[in-house]
């Protein structure tokens, strides 16, 4: 890579250069996040790996039922670098003026907003027609992303149940690719890229990689969720290696998995409480997708089964070979059951959920700062 190209790439990423305000962000081409990954190794060798920005995924604090303004304020109080609003439902209004104002507020805190539109496979068990068909939803997502200054608009298929729908996950992938290609030019004109998420165990990494290659890696990258990789019977540390250079957004939490009668059971945890090698994961992000924020999406107290010892389970994975989930089985043997945390006698259940989620989030960002050196804004104060 020549020096002029490297300089150009750095200048187009807000977390890889001297802090700039939103006026400087608005002209950024979001697909620079894709190009930046190619120079990660060069920067790590020459000047040390760049620091990973740290952000709040709004779902971490779902019990609060906050909308965008409160979530932005919360992220600002924690001196975070970005906030992820991975659904259009977080916005009280989708009026362009209101959206631009939110972007300006975030910029005043030195933060950036990332947004998601939701599922775009119309035959998914989770598809919502609130915004019309899938193309209408994605068009709205692109408009919102441009208005708030988001470099990405995240999308997905749905959940693991989609693997068992007619045509299987391959049919749902084809639907999503068709929608993305139909809106490809509009995204490029708006200066945003698609971030395709592996959501609720619906996609394995090789399937996600094939999807973004069909759309074009110049306009479609990965919204990486290592917790959901576990749900899809993958070792998340393998996922970051396979997909890291294509990552444009993240949603990260720790995880625990253990053997059970019907296969395995997993539960997500606060970062630092599970099996993830968090420093290694963070270092992989710094070198493979520099400048992409590590958004904390803490979820716990919710054990889920992966019944791979039952015959019906494999109907959703007709092309998966045993050798492809050996590393997952090794994780199962390393793990242990996680105790469910319950409210104290007499404590209001809703209040417990709020306090528990806040504590899990605080623990997660604290661990990432202390043990992984993540975050930029909190070091400027």
Q: Does residue 44 lie within any of the structural domains?
A: no
346: left (phi over 0), alpha (psi -120 to 50) or beta: left
Range of the domain at 93: 50-379
**CA 280, CA 274: separation in Å to the nearest integer?**
14
Q: Does residue 40 lie within any of the structural domains?
A: no
Q: Does residue 118 lie within any of the structural domains?
A: yes
**CA 11, CA 30: separation in Å to the nearest integer?**
12
Number of domains into which the chain is organized: 1
**CA 250, CA 364: separation in Å to the nearest integer?**
15
The whole-number pLDDT of residue 270 equals 98
State residue 59 phi and psi, 5-degree precision.
-65, -20
Q: What is the CATH number of the domain that holds 325?
A: 3.20.20.150
Q: Does residue 21 lie within any of the structural domains?
A: no
**CA 195, CA 250: separation in Å to the nearest integer?**
9
Q: Does residue 25 lie within any of the structural domains?
A: no
Contacts 24+ apart (CB under 8 A), 9-18: 9/35, 9/36, 9/39, 10/36, 13/290, 13/291, 14/112, 14/291, 15/50, 15/53, 15/81, 15/290, 15/291, 15/292, 15/293, 15/376, 16/50, 16/290, 16/291
Please answer whether residues 233 and 203 qualify as being in contact, where contact means their C-beta atoms are separated by less than 8 angstroms.
Answer: no
The tens place of each residue's pLDDT in the chain, 381 residues long, gives 333 333 332 333 445 433 333 333 333 333 344 433 333 333 333 345 679 999 999 999 999 999 999 999 999 999 999 999 999 999 999 999 999 999 999 999 999 999 999 999 999 999 999 999 999 999 999 999 999 999 999 999 999 999 999 999 999 999 999 999 999 999 999 999 999 999 999 999 999 999 999 999 999 999 999 999 999 999 999 999 999 999 999 999 999 999 999 999 999 999 999 999 999 999 999 999 999 999 999 999 999 999 999 999 999 999 999 999 999 999 999 999 999 999 999 999 999 999 999 999 999 999 999 999 999 999 876
Q: Does residue 8 lie within any of the structural domains?
A: no
CA 150 to chain centroid: 14
Q: Does residue 204 lie within any of the structural domains?
A: yes
Q: Does residue 19 lie within any of the structural domains?
A: no
């Amino acid at each position: 890579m020549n020096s002029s190209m490297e300089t150009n790439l750095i200048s187009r990423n807000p977390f890889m250069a001297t802090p700039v305000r939103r006026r400087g962000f608005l002209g950024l081409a979001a697909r620079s996040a894709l190009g930046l990954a190619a120079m990660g190794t060069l920067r790590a060798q020459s000047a040390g790996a760049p620091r990973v920005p740290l952000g709040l995924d709004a779902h971490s604090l779902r019990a609060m039922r906050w909308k965008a303004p409160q979530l932005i304020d919360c992220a600002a109080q924690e001196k975070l670098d970005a906030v992820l609003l991975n659904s259009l439902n977080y916005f009280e209004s989708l009026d362009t003026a209101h959206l631009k104002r939110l972007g300006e507020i975030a910029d005043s805190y030195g933060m950036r907003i990332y947004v998601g539109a939701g599922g775009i496979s119309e035959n998914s068990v989770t598809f919502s027609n609130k915004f019309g068909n899938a193309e209408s939803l994605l068009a709205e997502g692109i408009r919102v992303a441009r208005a708030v200054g988001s470099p990405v608009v995240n999308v997905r298929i749905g959940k693991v149940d989609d693997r068992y729908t007619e045509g299987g996950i391959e049919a749902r992938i084809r639907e999503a690719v068709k929608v993305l290609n139909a809106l490809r030019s509009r995204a490029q004109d708006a200066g945003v890229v698609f971030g395709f998420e592996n959501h609720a165990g619906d996609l394995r990494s090789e399937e996600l990689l094939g999807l973004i290659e069909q759309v074009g890696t110049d306009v479609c990258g990965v919204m990486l969720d290592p917790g959901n990789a576990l749900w899809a019977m993958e070792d998340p540390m393998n996922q970051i290696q396979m997909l890291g250079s294509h990552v444009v957004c993240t949603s990260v939490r720790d995880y625990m998995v253990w053997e059970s009668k019907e296969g395995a059971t997993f539960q997500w945890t606060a970062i630092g409480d599970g099996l993830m090698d968090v420093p290694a994961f963070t270092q992989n992000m710094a070198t493979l997708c520099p400048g992409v924020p590590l958004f904390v999406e803490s979820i716990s107290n919710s054990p889920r089964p992966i019944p791979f010892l039952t015959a019906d389970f494999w109907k959703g994975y007709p092309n998966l070979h045993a050798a492809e989930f050996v590393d997952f089985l090794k994780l199962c043997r390393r793990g242990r059951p996680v105790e469910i945390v319950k409210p104290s006698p007499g404590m209001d259940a809703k209040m417990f959920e709020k306090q528990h989620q806040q504590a899990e989030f605080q623990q997660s960002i604290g661990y990432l700062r202390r043990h992984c050196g993540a975050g930029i804004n909190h070091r400027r104060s």
